[in-house]
Chain A
């Protein structure tokens, strides 16, 4: 199975900050990667698919980039509602595998 590794595992940031999360795959996965946001007690929510495509209804401050083995999720200006845990997911092959998550906390 493809291993997905995110960094950092957690970060503290202030409202208005630019935040970047990295996800690395153990082998090349083209651009078959998505990003999901999960708030406590809620199901994950799709933000980005195909590495850089914004899901309908997701604010434009979220963006994704990368291909092959290294990917990034960027939040251009952190908002109060963005404090959550973020997961990457590879959909290159089965079994689908997730990163361990990055928790974004308020500084």
Chain B
């Protein structure tokens, strides 16, 4: 059974960088798309971007200038960096597997990141 688990600081100061890591267990990180999705309190889900196991990335244009997603196949992990955060970046952040660009089938439990001084 594939499992995903997010990890990282739950509190980030405004203008600093949000960094999260997702550890994938129970399966290989190869041959899939790995995405980050977030959900601000009371709002709809927002797709942040993906990295494919081959290294290709694609980011939401609304966040593209501030986002980097990277992959460490040796550790079965992928990571999110979001620069210059503001209160608007406060959200539940999920790491997710996308199968063949058709569906998000496995989700991490989510981690709440609050941006506040």
User: What is the interface of chain A, defined by CB distance below 8 A to chain B?
Assistant: 1, 32, 34, 36, 42-46, 49-50, 55, 87, 89, 91, 94-101
Closest approach, in angstroms, between the C-beta of A107 and any C-beta of chain B? 23
List the count of A-B residue pairs having beta carbons below 8 Å apart.
52
User: What is the interface of chain B, defined by CB distance below 8 A to chain A?
Assistant: 35, 44-47, 58-62, 94, 98, 101-105, 107-110
Query: Could you tell me if B109 and A43 are in contact, using CB atoms closer than 8 angstroms?
Result: yes
Residues from chain A with Cβ under 8 Å of B109 in the complex: 42-43
Query: Could you tell me if A98 and B103 are in contact, using CB atoms closer than 8 angstroms?
Result: no
Residues from chain B with Cβ under 8 Å of A89 in the complex: 45, 104
Residues from chain B with Cβ under 8 Å of A87 in the complex: 44-45
Query: Could you tell me if B62 and A98 are in contact, using CB atoms closer than 8 angstroms?
Result: no
Query: Could you tell me if A91 and B102 are in contact, using CB atoms closer than 8 angstroms?
Result: yes
Closest approach, in angstroms, between the C-beta of B68 and any C-beta of chain A? 16
Closest approach, in angstroms, between the C-beta of B8 and any C-beta of chain A? 16
Closest approach, in angstroms, between the C-beta of A68 and any C-beta of chain B? 17
Query: Could you tell me if A96 and B105 are in contact, using CB atoms closer than 8 angstroms?
Result: no
Beyond A43-B94, A43-B109, A95-B61, is A55–B47 a contact (Cβ under 8 Å)? no
Partner of A43, one of B47, B58, B102, B107: B107
- The list of the 10 closest CB pairs from A to B, nearest first, reads A49-B103, A43-B107, A96-B47, A95-B60, A98-B45, A100-B44, A94-B58, A98-B44, A34-B103, A43-B110
Closest chain B residue, CB of each to CB of A43? B107
Beyond A44-B107, A95-B60, is A50–B102 a contact (Cβ under 8 Å)? yes
Closest approach, in angstroms, between the C-beta of B17 and any C-beta of chain A? 22
Closest chain B residue, CB of each to CB of A56? B105
Closest approach, in angstroms, between the C-beta of B55 and any C-beta of chain A? 16
Query: Could you tell me if A98 and B102 are in contact, using CB atoms closer than 8 angstroms?
Result: no
B44, B98, B103, B108: most-surrounded residue (chain A CB, <10 A) = B103
Closest chain A residue, CB of each to CB of B105? A46
Query: Could you tell me if A46 and B44 are in contact, using CB atoms closer than 8 angstroms?
Result: no
CA distance A42 to B44 in the complex (A): 14
Partner of B47, one of A45, A97, A101: A97
